[in-house]
Amino acid sequence: MRNRPIEVRPTAGALGAEIHGVRVADELADESIAAIRRALLEYGVIFFRDQDDLPNDRFLAFAKRFGQTIEYPFVKGLDGFPEIITVAKLEHERINFGGVWHSDTTYLENPPMGTLLAARELPPYGGDTLFANQYLAFEALSPAMQRMLEDLRAVSDSAKAEVTRTREDRMKSESSERAKRRLTAEHPVVRTHPETGRKALYVNVAHTTHFVGMTEEESAGLLQFLFDHQARPEFTCRFRWHPGSIAFWDNRCAQHNPVNDYHGFRRIMHRITLAGDRPV
């Protein structure tokens, strides 16, 4: 096993850090994996550059050092690598995959712990990804608002079509029955991170429909306030992709939003999801 010195360089004041001195395709020592995990927990999202020589088997092996890899519920994985899905926008397409602020698949009873995304083909410009720190989003609220939200639970629904049209498009083209399922789950509006113990705001515009015990109409005003609040610029960082870049984010405390500003060009990414636990 190779054990190179690891350098962590923060990318913004709110969250995010680049990890240098790591070749993801290598069989990394346990100390290196532990250092990377510490950086993920501290910064919410971490980035690797210049990982061009990363075959799918080594990408998957790296991901498995951090948790159990799982299949995405609505998109078929690669042949031979069902845990790796292709996230693509082609030259003729206008809507990108997941192009709205969200935490991944919160409509699952056990939403994912983390997600890894590797750049395979990139447009000549555009296609950045934004990330937002949900610890800061919660901590910036007034004490009275924090207390109220801590008593609430909210419903996430995979069929929230007005902000997930790309998923609907993919469901129509996917022949398997699993792609046609509708999934819902209830989660606390404020979750406590199981490893750091910090509290994070845990609703998102892509999947959250209403508060438990309230109608969608009754929930709409407060939810819209939270959706706007949790993406305030001071809570965010922006990652510009280069060939060979990898992003690894903690879904328990960070949201992301891929910017759809590269019409007419191709963007191909490979994504791996790590199993999580039930939010509390």
- State CA 150 to chain mean position distance: 23
Which helix (DSSP H) or strand (DSSP E) does residue 144 occupy? Answer: helix 143-150
256 labelled catalytic: yes
Catalytic residue among 187, 191, 270, 271: 271
Catalytic residue among 37, 187, 207, 256: 256
Q: How many CB atoms lie within 10 A of CB 125?
A: 10
Q: Transcribe 85-142 into DSSP letters.
A: EEEEE-TT--S-TT-SSB-TTTTSSS--SEEEEEEEE--SS---EEEEEHHHHHHTS-
Nearest to 76 by CA among 213, 229, 180, 150: 180
Catalytic residue among 104, 157, 187, 193: 104
- First and final CA of the chain: distance in angstroms? 37
210 labelled catalytic: no
Q: E strands within the chain?
A: 7-10, 17-20, 45-48, 69-70, 84-89, 114-121, 129-133, 153-157, 184-188, 190-192, 199-201, 208-211, 236-239, 246-250, 254-258, 267-274
**73 and 178 in contact (C-beta within 8 Å)?**
yes
**170 and 85 in contact (C-beta within 8 Å)?**
no
Q: Which residues carry out catalysis?
A: 102, 104, 256, 271
